[in-house]
């Protein structure tokens, strides 16, 4: 599958790129800077070659990455995510779009959920997309460091939500390409605020109990 990661130079993007490349998917790294995107793509390729993997990874501006892809991941900082999507709106058609974006603020040493006016980053991004795009909210709570260790098994749950069942099924299959992640469908996109609000709690626990990396597992 052709997967674009807009803002594909961040922590969670790296893990997704490495693991999906290992699974055989073609990856398009997007950035505001074509030069930066190509540089990061080259770094990912070198990391994968160490594991004996010959990946298909390309770097390019965000707008071009979105046009090339069947699935687009919005791995952009929350303060810029919706604006960036709006700026390249014409690059989206009927792709599956995935948002792991969470808006947080820091007060002292504590991270707090700080949703936009729409109630969640997912709903803010949906408003910036054309109606033909199929948005799924996912991957908010995966530990970035462990995600990038591609030989490490991740025994966590990934909670997803969205309004298109077909799009959620595609995200489920892509997630299951990363052993041993389990996908739980929480329902419509409106549920995203509940999933997003868990992220600051996990971040605070990770800070307090370093070097442990917490995520989510429902039992």
Return the structure tokens found at 138: 């996912």
User: What CATH number should be reported for the domain holding residue 68?
Assistant: 3.40.50.720
Rg over alpha carbons for the chain, rounded to the nearest Å, is 16
Res 136 pLDDT > 90:
yes
Res 151 pLDDT > 80:
yes
- The residue whose two tokens read 């990934």 is 158
| Assigned domain for 63 exists | yes
| Assigned domain for 47 exists | yes
Strands 157-162 and 104-107, sheet pairing: unpaired
In 3D, which of 67, 88, 199, 95 has the Cα closest to residue 142? Answer: 199
What digits encode the pLDDT tens for the residues 51-80?
A: 999 999 999 999 999 999 999 999 999 999
Return the structure tokens found at 105: 């603020």
Q: Which residues pair with residue 73 across a beta bridge?
A: 5, 98
Q: What is the reported pLDDT for 38?
A: 96
Res 211 pLDDT > 90:
no
For the range 200-205, what are the long-range contacts, defined as Cβ-Cβ under 8 Å and sequence gap of 24 or more?
A: 200/102, 200/104, 200/111, 200/112, 200/113, 202/141, 203/104, 203/111, 204/110, 204/111
| Assigned domain for 183 exists | yes
The alpha-helical segments, DSSP class H, found in 60-133 are: 62-68, 78-87, 121-128
SS3 category, 39 = helix
**Count of structural domains, the chain:** 1
What digits encode the pLDDT tens for the residues 157-192?
A: 999 999 999 999 999 999 999 999 999 999 999 999
- The residue whose two tokens read 């999933």 is 195
| Assigned domain for 218 exists | no
What digits encode the pLDDT tens for the residues 94-125?
A: 999 999 999 999 999 999 999 999 999 999 99
Domain that holds residue 51: 2-208
Residue 113 φ/ψ, nearest 5 degrees: -65, 130
| Assigned domain for 119 exists | yes
């Amino acid at each position: 599958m052709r997967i674009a990661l807009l803002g594909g130079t961040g922590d969670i993007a790296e893990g997704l790129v490495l693991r999906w490349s290992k699974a055989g998917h073609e990856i398009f790294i997007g950035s505001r800077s074509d030069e930066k995107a190509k540089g990061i793509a080259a770094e990912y390729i070198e990391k994968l070659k160490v594991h004996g993997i010959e990946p298909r990874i390309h770097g390019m501006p965000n707008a071009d990455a979105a046009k090339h892809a069947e699935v687009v991941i919005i791995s952009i900082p929350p303060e810029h995510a919706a604006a960036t999507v709006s700026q390249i709106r014409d690059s989206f058609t009927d792709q599956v779009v995935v948002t792991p974006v969470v808006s947080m603020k820091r007060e002292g040493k504590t991270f707090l959920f700080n949703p936009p006016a729409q109630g969640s980053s997912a709903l803010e991004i949906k408003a910036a997309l054309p109606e033909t795009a199929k948005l799924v909210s996912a991957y908010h709570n995966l530990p970035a460091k462990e995600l990038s260790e591609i030989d490490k098994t991740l025994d966590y749950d990934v909670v997803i939500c969205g309004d298109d069942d077909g799009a959620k099924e595609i995200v489920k299959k892509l997630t299951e390409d990363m052993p041993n992640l389990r996908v739980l469908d929480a329902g419509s996109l409106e549920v995203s605020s509940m999933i997003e609000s868990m992220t600051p709690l996990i971040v605070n626990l990770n800070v307090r109990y370093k070097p442990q990396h917490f995520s989510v597992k429902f039992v």
